[in-house]
Amino acid sequence: MRRRGSLRFGVTDDQMPWSFRNGRGEVVGFEADLAHALAVDLGLKLELVPVGRDAREEALGSGVCDLAAGRIAPTRAMAMQFSRPVAEEPWAFLVPDHERELFTSVDRARSHEGLRVAVMRVPEWVARVKAVLPRAEVVPVDTILDFVSAPPGRLDAMYTGYARATAYSLLHPRLAAVVPSPGLGGVPLALAVPAGEEDLLQLVNAWLEQVRASGLLEAKLDYWARGKGARAEEGPRWSIGRDILGWWR
């Protein structure tokens, strides 16, 4: 990285709000923002490298990228090393708004017959949904968009992280993000380095402690994952005095 003068950071561009493309085609989100901050602190140029969701291990192992980010999954721990968690995302359901009451209670959803629940094609998560909702048909999908674009009535819910569910509910107001009661726990998110790169892992962990202590990590989570960014981007509310009569700006 020092010899090259750049940090190659692997990103997946369809995981709002963690990493996604904005209206201008730029990769943005919490992960990209964190990568920018790390590159600046290391005095390196940042290269955001598009990497498929299931290709992180290969990209890290082959040197296509130096670092990546994502959910910690035990099945992937042999192929890459994870840093200390940077965040924990509560598990939630993304559901049609008119069905939100059904999913506010795990017991209510569990007793309901005929539910079809989508979940990402990760063995641990498929098994978890089957255990939580044994009467439901669990439908593995490749992306949340498979759920969002499904014909009405085809799928009843998507099991995903709360920040992701909230982001898609903002884009699609017919959908709602629901954290059921009792809660289903959460999934930790971390930075990942190639297997065997102990020095790099130590550097990343030390840097994460620094940005956590400075408040920068919380500020970026607030902006991207907790809704404060969306509120900050909103303009002032429309009013007759300002927009029609021009009394103030």
Do 38 and 69 fall into the same domain?
A: yes
DSSP letters, the chain, are: -TTTTEEEEEE-TEETTTEEE-TTS-EESHHHHHHHHHHHHHT-EEEEEE--TT-HHHHHHHTS-SEEEEE--GGGTTTEEE-S-SEEEEEEEEEEGGGHHHHSBHHHHHH-TT-EEEEES-HHHHHHHHHH-TTSEEEEESSHHHHHTSPTTS-SEEEEEHHHHHHHHHH-TTEEEE--BS---EEEEEEEEETT-HHHHHHHHHHHHHHHHHTHHHHHHHHHHSSHHHHHH--PPP-HHHHTS-S--
Do 70 and 191 fall into the same domain?
A: yes
For the chain, what is the domain count?
2
Do 129 and 156 fall into the same domain?
A: yes
Q: What is the pLDDT of residue 236?
A: 53
Q: Give the pairing type, strands 19-21 and 14-15.
A: antiparallel
Residue 126, in any domain of the structure:
yes
- For tokens 């009535």, name the residue: 153
Which residue range(s) make up the domain with 123?
A: 90-178
Q: Which of 131, 159, 178 is the last residue of a domain?
A: 178
Residue 23, in any domain of the structure:
yes
Residue 79, in any domain of the structure:
yes
Buried b / exposed e along 24-40 (16+ C-beta atoms within 10 A): eeebbbbbbbbbbbbbe
Residue 215, in any domain of the structure:
yes
Q: What does the pLDDT look like over 160-174, one tens digit per residue?
A: 999 999 999 988 999
Residue 238, in any domain of the structure:
no
Beta bridge partners of 6: 45
Do 99 and 83 fall into the same domain?
A: no
Q: What is the pLDDT of residue 230?
A: 53
Q: What is the pLDDT of residue 53?
A: 76
Which CATH number belongs to the domain containing residue 35 in this structure? 3.40.190.10
User: 182: cis peptide before it, omega within 30°?
Assistant: yes
Do 73 and 195 fall into the same domain?
A: yes
Do 57 and 78 fall into the same domain?
A: yes
- For tokens 């992280």, name the residue: 161
Do 58 and 174 fall into the same domain?
A: no
Q: What does the pLDDT look like over 58-112, one tens digit per residue?
A: 999 999 999 999 888 776 767 789 999 999 999 999 999 999 999 999 999 999 9
Do 76 and 125 fall into the same domain?
A: no
Do 25 and 83 fall into the same domain?
A: yes
Which stretches in the chain have pLDDT values below 50? 231-235, 238-248
What residue type is assigned to position 134 of the chain? P
Q: What is the pLDDT of residue 165?
A: 94
Residue 247, in any domain of the structure:
no
Residue 159, in any domain of the structure:
yes
Q: Which of 178, 213, 242 is the last residue of a domain?
A: 178
What residue type is assigned to position 58 of the chain? E
Do 113 and 168 fall into the same domain?
A: yes
Residue 120, in any domain of the structure:
yes
Q: What is the pLDDT of residue 117?
A: 98
Q: Which of 156, 178, 200 is the last residue of a domain?
A: 178
Do 70 and 119 fall into the same domain?
A: no
Do 159 and 108 fall into the same domain?
A: yes
Q: What is the pLDDT of residue 229?
A: 57
